[in-house]
Amino acid sequence: MSAAGMKEIISFAGIALLIIAIILIQLSRTKLNGWLAGITSVLAYLSLIFGGLIVVYIVFSGPTQ
């Protein structure tokens, strides 16, 4: 697989983590309460941070040839 194709797949993984974070944050704030909401919220924020770092890395690494 080429470098551009690999970067594309990695960026899709980052976008998927951001979407998962949105779903988990909404779930923890509306449907859950107690310690389960806390665990879900921590997982959501971790996936938000990790997905954001992936997207920032892909954007700032520049174009591939």
E-only strand ranges, the chain = none
Cβ partners under 8 Å of residue 33, min gap 6: none
What tens digit of pLDDT does each residue of 5-49 get?
999 999 999 999 999 999 999 999 999 999 999 999 999 999 999
**Whether pTM exceeds 0.85:** yes
- Which residue has better confidence, 63 or 19? 19
Going by pLDDT thresholds of 50, 70 and 90, the confidence category of residue 63 is confident
